[in-house]
Amino acid sequence: MKFGVVVFPGSNCDADCLHAIQTVTGQPVEYIWHKSGSVDGFDCIVLPGGFSYGDYLRCGAVARFSPVMTPVIEFAQKGGLVIGICNGFQVLTEAGLLPGVLHRNKNLQFLCHDTFLRVENNTTPFTCRASLGQVIKVPIAHGEGNYYADPETIRQLEENKQILFRYCDPRGEITPEANPNGSINNIAGICNERGNVLGMMPHPERCAESVLGNTDGQLIFQSLLDFWQRRCG
């Protein structure tokens, strides 16, 4: 299974993603420069965190028109696996691959701390290793992670079980206090209707090794590998 990590000008979690994927999955992984016109040969594309194009205009709004996004969008539309983490999630919403938008945190602060997430759907390529309702600890680091969509879109996300992660307290309770940024329904991560594109604000690549004191983020990368190997086998 070959992973590709897209590098936009201003990406700053690209190296972390590459390292985490390599370490957790042992699979080949390469950077994909934002000017690349192709993603041929890759099985999973990661849009990493950072401040692509300085977050000018809106987060992800400019990156969405990077040359690499044309093949990434085609890849996703054909069912290819795509993950957007943090800024990558913002790029995916701007590109229309995921619904809704991430706007300013409710308290206007840049938030950089651990959060607890409850796995709300474990039948996706990104969560198949998890048990339903499993609580994982994953850090966030963003100023614009406040997920918003109109009520009809939220209803569809809920109905189709596209909400994969919700902010929760350590016991897995979905409470307003556990919601760091004001996201509707404590949404931390969603997938598209087809289930092949994931966007999440928390950073699994920052907690995927025991040396970092937390390995909960491995879950996402291990799930992907499990999914892929079952499909191939």
Smallest distance, another protein to C-beta of residue 138, A: 24
Is 158 considered catalytic here?
no
Residue number with CB closer to another protein (104 or 161) = 104
Residue number with CB closer to another protein (108 or 232) = 108
Smallest distance, another protein to C-beta of residue 26, A: 39
Both tokens of 4, joined, read: 């590709």
Q: Torsion-angle region of residue 103: left (phi > 0), alpha (psi -120 to 50) or beta?
A: beta
Single-letter code of the amino acid located at 107 = N
Single-letter code of the amino acid located at 105 = N
Contacts of 7 (CB under 8 A, 6+ apart): 14, 31, 32, 33, 34, 48
Task: Point out which residues bind another protein (CB under 8 A).
Answer: 57-58, 61-62, 65, 93-94, 99-101, 103-108, 146, 148-150, 182
Is 142 considered catalytic here?
no
Residue number with CB closer to another protein (4 or 180) = 180
Exactly one of 44, 86, 191, 207 is catalytic; name it: 86
- Are 188 and 180 in contact by the 8 Å Cβ rule? The answer is no
Tokens 């979690």 correspond to 13
Smallest distance, another protein to C-beta of residue 134, A: 30
Is 113 considered catalytic here?
no
Q: Which residues are catalytic?
A: 86, 203, 205
